[in-house]
Amino acid sequence: MSSPVRATVVQASSIFFDTPATLDKAEKLLKEAAALGSQLVVFPEAFIGGYPRGHNFADQSPRGKESFRKYHASAINVPGPEVDRLASMARKYKVYVVTGVIERDGYTLYCTVLFFDPEGNYLGKHRKLMPTYRERLVWGFGDCSTTPVYDTPYGKLGSVICWENRMPLLRTAMYGKGIEIYCAPTADSGDTWVATMRHVAMEGGCYVLSPIQFCRRKDYPPPPEYLYSPTEEDVTPDSIVWAGGSVIISPTGEILAGPNYEGEGLFTADLDVRVEIPKAKFWFDVVGHYSRPDVLSLTVNNRPLLPVTFRSSPSKIKDDEMDECKDV
């Protein structure tokens, strides 16, 4: 049986183009969450590396190209030294850590979530399957080889990123893997996001944890490198660029923490998978008694989809095979 867990979602801004400083900020926030007794801490989408709001990387001018070069340089390799540091933080504060990063794989970037356990082990990652709108100019597409769900003492832990949560088939795949603590880091601070998260919690019969960045204009580079508006005349350093709205929701759709649109902060709730999920599943188990596999089913390709595959030839052909070749 799973144990209760105190969970925290982090609502805070990246430090754009400064990954070491963002990692320092992450450690400060982890320390604060651990002081609250948290055993699971979830950071927003693209927290390490930054979300590219306001940057026109499609601009083919020298300025646009240099902006992307700096964004690429701010991303992290997985594995790599930044991953090692995040693992050491998880071990130091004895918490499970789930965090959004910008992953650099050669010259392609991915919007990725990384998982760490309290012993400081890097568990694995989820790459965003479907970047949204302008994100497609910046990020590559993931595949279902990186849609893990991990067994923890507190329940089965996994993540779906931002508008992937609007993909019914992906949600169904995660329900099929038995997810119980459903992490949904996002860049969506709109009015409808909380409703989406409540729907996911009730549909999946799972806890939903959705951290969102809260950013002011001063958290981003100055103009002209970054332009929040065409003239910047209508903004001040304290103008809100990204409004937050982080939430934690129970399997029955009850809001346990948040939403907050006022500033950075930590939002914490106690989760008990063993008590609350059976109550929710009694009414509706989307991949159990409420499914109809005789008429509706889903097949998921969870193999890596690689652009180049190399097949090696045998270094030595058996003598009898050589003789057969001679006889032909």
Residues catalogued as catalytic: 45
Tokens of 299: 């097949």
d(CA 110, CA 179): 23
Q: What is the DSSP letter of 48?
A: B
CB 210 within 8 A of CB 186: yes
Axis-axis angle for helices 168-176, 193-204 (nearest 10): 40
Q: Is 318 exposed, middle or buried (0-12, 13-18, 19+ CB in 10 A)?
A: exposed
Give ∠ CA 113-188-22 in degrees, rounded to 5: 50
The identity of residue 218, as a single letter, is K
Is beta strand 207-210 parallel, antiparallel or unpaired with respect to 247-249?
antiparallel
Unique residue bearing structure tokens 């927290």? 47
Residue partners of 146: CB distance under 8 A and separation at least 6:
112, 124, 125, 126, 127
d(CA 173, CA 204): 11
CB 186 within 8 A of CB 264: no
The identity of residue 28, as a single letter, is K
How far apart are the two ends of the chain, measured CA to CA in Å? 66
3-state secondary structure of 230: coil
CB 175 within 8 A of CB 287: yes
